[in-house]
């Protein structure tokens, strides 16, 4: 029997890991903060963090584990990594787009991608999109792609109209 791996993304924040975890847990259903670890006195000369300040926050978003690390300003998020949210309908697209986009970078919104207030990139995608893009009728798929490229937040009805 093969052991199944449990992959946990670790998100590096300058100092906002706990606030970010609370923000994300307030958006996704069945989410929670699991634990918080704090920096000790030991290693101050390496980590430079005040003893007792938050080091990591373990949290779950709809059952998916994450860890937020307060590691300082050395590393920042970029678009090379993003998290996709497969949405069943337009109401879900609207919910995640609006909530995750609060305080984010409106200039970084295109084709269902957005950047949240912490600089993390998300793709808010209706589950029907791959089906519309991978259909055998190349002309229909082309029209869907053209419509998609004109959108910031994805509009399921407009994508379906393009396919028709």
Instruction: Pick left, alpha or beta for residue 33 (phi over 0 → left; psi -120 to 50 → alpha; otherwise beta).
Output: beta
**What confidence tens digit (pLDDT) does each residue in 114-156 have?**
999 999 999 999 999 999 999 899 999 999 999 999 999 999 9
φ and ψ of 78, to 5 deg: -145, 175
**What confidence tens digit (pLDDT) does each residue in 54-101 have?**
999 999 999 999 999 999 999 999 999 999 999 999 999 999 999 999
pLDDT value at residue 116: 97
Q: Is the pLDDT of residue 46 over 90?
A: no
pLDDT value at residue 3: 73
Strand partners, 122: 83, 114
Spelled out in words, what is the top-level CATH class assigned to the domain 8-75?
A: alpha beta
CB 111 within 8 Å of CB 79 = no
Strand partners, 119: none
Q: Is the pLDDT of residue 4 over 80?
A: no
Decide the pairing of beta strands 32-38 and 54-61: antiparallel
Distance CA 36, CA 32 (A): 12
Tell me the domain boundaries of the chain.
Answer: 8-75, 77-164
Spelled out in words, what is the top-level CATH class assigned to the domain 77-164?
A: alpha beta
pLDDT value at residue 6: 86
Closest CA to 122 of 146, 97, 147: 97
Segment 2-8 mean pLDDT: 81
pLDDT value at residue 135: 86
């Amino acid at each position: 029997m093969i052991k199944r791996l449990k992959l946990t993304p670790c998100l590096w924040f300058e100092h906002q890991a706990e606030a970010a975890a609370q923000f994300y847990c307030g958006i996704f259903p069945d989410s929670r903060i699991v634990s918080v670890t704090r920096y000790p006195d030991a290693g101050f000369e390496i980590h430079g963090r005040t003893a007792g300040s938050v080091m990591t926050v373990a949290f779950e978003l709809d059952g998916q584990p994450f860890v937020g690390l307060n590691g300082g300003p050395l590393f920042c998020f970029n678009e090379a990594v993003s998290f996709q949210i497969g949405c069943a309908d337009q109401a879900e697209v609207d919910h995640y787009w609006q909530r995750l986009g609060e305080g984010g970078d409106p200039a970084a919104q295109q084709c269902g991608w957005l950047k949240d207030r912490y600089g993390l990139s998300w793709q808010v995608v209706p589950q029907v999109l791959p089906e519309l893009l991978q259909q055998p009728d190349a002309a229909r798929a082309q029209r869907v792609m053209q419509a998609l490229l004109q959108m910031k937040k994805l509009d399921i009805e407009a994508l379906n109209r393009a396919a028709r």
